[in-house]
Amino acid sequence: MPPMRTDTPQPIRLDDYTPPAFLIEEVRLDFALAPNTTRVKARLSVRRNGEHSDPLVLNGERLKPISVAVDGRVLAEGERSIDAEFLTVPDVPDAFVLETEVEIDPENNKALEGLYMSGGRFCTQCEAEGFRKITWYPDRPDVLSRFTVRIEADKVFRHLLSNGNLIEAGELPGGRHFAVWNDPFPKPAYLFALVGGELDVLEDKLVTMTGRTVDLRIFVDTGMAPRAAYAMDALKRSMKWDEEAFGREYDLDLFMIVAVRDFNFGAMENKGLNIFNSSLLLADPATATDLDYERIESVVAHEYFHNWTGDRITCRDWFQLCLKEGLTVFRDQSFSADMRGHAVQRIKDVKALRARQFPEDQGPLAHPVRPSSYLKIDNFYTATIYEKGAEVIRMLKTLIGAEAFRQGMDLYFERWDGHATTVEEFIRCFAEVSGQDLSDFFAWYEQAGTPKVQLTHSYDADAKTLTIDLSQQTPPTPGQPNKKPLPVPVILGLLDGEGRTLAFERDGRAVDETLVVLDSAASSVTLTGVDEAPVISALRGFSSPVTLNTDARAADRYVQLAGDPDLFNRWESGQDLARALIIARATGAPDEVGEERFAEALGRALADQASDPAFKALLLSLPTESDLAMSIQPADPAAIHVAREAMRTRLALHLTEDLKRLHIGLQELGEFSPDAASAGRRALRNAALDLMAANPRAEVGELAEGHYRAAANMTDAIGGLSALMQIGGELYETALADFFARWKSEPLVIDKWFALQARDPDESALGRVMGLTAHPAFDQKNPNRLRALVSTFANFNPARFHDPSGAGYRFLADQILAVDGFNPMTAARLVEPLGGWRRYKPELGALMKEQLARIVATEGLSKNVYELAAKALAD
């Protein structure tokens, strides 16, 4: 047993915010890079902020102090104090220059925060609190300063990069060289970046809307420059889109991106020098799937859009994190919708929201979009901050209209450029331009939980009126037992019995769609001129992040599946029908007639020549086992898995010929293209194969093997291998070995190899996954590899993770504790699967709690893991 934990970390609270005691007007940093003994000299122009006599207190961790000087005079030890977290200097003037020198060890920095080494290169990650591991500094987002950075290193580290513009470079004696960078825009320390190493570079240019030429450079591993071509294309499209959609032009002469293999996050928006996880930057048809291309496009856009929503305007404090992340996710989703189709992208975004954020909002880790307290801000880079934060922005645009929304954004950029601000000030901009009182809307930022909306209706044939009754209720969440009603925008349309749009009147005006705002616990709306009893198409486009329950009949869902013009609701109706049928089977009341009816309806939808292949691929995908577990409480993962597989088998048998025609007809013979249309056709072909894999007939295995062997791109190779995994047996094991032998020198591809096995539904999956942790290619210290195997297993293989013995839970806890010893941020991100213990059968929940208790009791546990595990454990 590990030693018992004895200390309890104390939270940081929003209510305790105070402005910084000192401001830093200018920063000059001087780096002498060496793998184990990097020297960092900092020269800070410091000014007291307001009337007070507080000492200067700077953050600093894991720093070896060399010297501290004020206005050129080196301080004796008695004139300053240094502990594990702070440098304190009492009795300082109102304005002065602080000079410090420290030594750090990048090569042994396995937490991957601050300055560390990846693949023999120096790189940084400073958000949220990594800069304090580089030098002493007021490491908080409301201290903005202009940085000038000098970097010196051996010439083997060929490229020396930092934020802003290169102003000087040259050679030095002893085989060394230097570069000096200046960023003219004030920024907080979390946006500082440095890279030093041997890299290839892909270069391009872009002419902005005012005629300025910006140099674009993407730095990658040696020999990988061609794989950055799609990222470069996505960057240029992002820059143009931001000019057209938001009027935002890039502001420096140079924009750089660097790909690194070891990275805790997906990417980081450091001003002018974005640093990316290589998995989100490098792609070619042979090694990257269509999903990789989509994610690269989205993340490149996201990080570029941060230039204005995050860099030029940043957060006053970390409680305002959604101000940059939720807003920027909304912007990148809007960009992706324009690039790849609005309906398909909206469905994908909502699927991600429901998979990640809805469980978070309904569990012990629920928190508002703007939290009120935290132990480690690293733990709040969550789906609530990002995805729900984006949904709040989307609702704001819906409520005030697109024109007022753009005006509000323009005012926000004008008013707050160059400053750190708050969510209140952001919302105030939209209230001013729209003339609307948005005080009630602000509750979306302060109240956790997913509202449950109930819709019932009554139709008066004589009066031709339709009355719709709406109500809302948000369940209690930790620390918030009592909830108030929120303004919930509900977009409604009506259909006739054949699925055709049914016009109606609202407030005397003829319309075919209307916005109803549910802003109280319950309200009603009456629509007139409704010529027949309608099918109600509610919450179109998923206009609010809520769960909607209605009095619709199954027959109504079939009408929507066949012809709802709102494609989100057409897809949603299919999901609702499938969910009800799978749950009925999982709870011991199978509806075989209903299953056949659903299979027939799905076949008709697949035959619709007017439908986008990407949309059809989404129709073929049943609700996931994790999604289904949210609808059955307490959930039995084993029963859900069996029921869902039975449904897949029924569909595969019923649609055998349809699926074969799709698989044959969509085979590509020409050159690969990553465009949305081509990706959609591949998605449908692979979705058809995936469903065929549930057919128990032997020839399906041969078909899947042929698909894998003939694959001309990674999308199809993974599609074939995934189908073989579901079938199992010798064909699968042979293909798996072949895949590894073929791609063992490609780390990003081998991540896929690990992840695919982590999803294996076979009963031997847990043993396989545990065995893979001893595989020579498994590296626990690499976040990508760890996530590929451990996180994938815990999050996407519920039937095997929730093994009745509790072995899956023990395995995850073992991994969390091991990783916490060197990378607390990554370890904490593994805790969430254990936090859902309340949703599962009591015997499973008890085993999950046992592992959480074991984690919390461990001596030396990081604040990161302690915060999440303790919250998850709380009753």
Q: Which residues are catalytic?
A: 303
Q: Which residues pair with 169 in a beta bridge?
A: 179
Distance CA 700, CA 692 (A): 7
Q: What is the token pair recorded at 864?
A: 């990161």
Amino acid of residue 440: D
Q: Which residues pair with 98 in a beta bridge?
A: 44, 70
* HEC sequence for 781-840: CCHHHHHHHHHHHHHHCHHHHCCCCCHHHHHHHHHHHHHHCCCHHHHHCCCHHHHHHHHE
Distance CA 183, CA 205 (A): 20
Question: What is the edge-to-edge ordering of all strands in the sheet holding 488-495?
Answer: 513-518, 488-495, 535-538
Cα–Cα–Cα angle for 803, 805, 808, rounded to 5 degrees = 50
Distance CA 815, CA 808 (A): 11
**Residue 833 class from Cβ within 10 Å (0-12 exposed, 13-18 middle, 19+ buried)?**
buried
Contact 691, 651 (CB under 8 A): yes
Distance CA 499, CA 484 (A): 36
Phi/psi for 78 (5° steps) reads -75, -10
Distance CA 658, CA 698 (A): 18
- Whole-angstrom CA distances from 125 to 106, 122, 732 are 12, 11, 40
What is the DSSP-derived secondary structure letter of residue 748?
H
Phi/psi for 726 (5° steps) reads -65, -35
- Whole-angstrom CA distances from 471 to 516, 528, 550, 612 are 12, 21, 11, 35
Distance CA 749, CA 740 (A): 9
Whether the ω angle into residue 545 lies within 30 degrees of 0, i.e. cis, is no
User: What torsion do the CA atoms of 235, 239, 244, 250 make, to the nearest 10 degrees?
Assistant: 170
Distance CA 415, CA 430 (A): 12
Distance CA 445, CA 371 (A): 8
CA atoms within 13 A on the CB side of 479: 14
Phi/psi-derived region of residue 382, left when phi > 0, alpha when psi is between -120 and 50, beta in every other case: beta
Distance CA 58, CA 608 (A): 64
Distance CA 386, CA 171 (A): 44
What SS3 state is found at 300?
helix
Whether the ω angle into residue 390 lies within 30 degrees of 0, i.e. cis, is no
| Tokens 């220059």, located at residue | 97
Amino acid of residue 78: G
Distance CA 201, CA 150 (A): 21
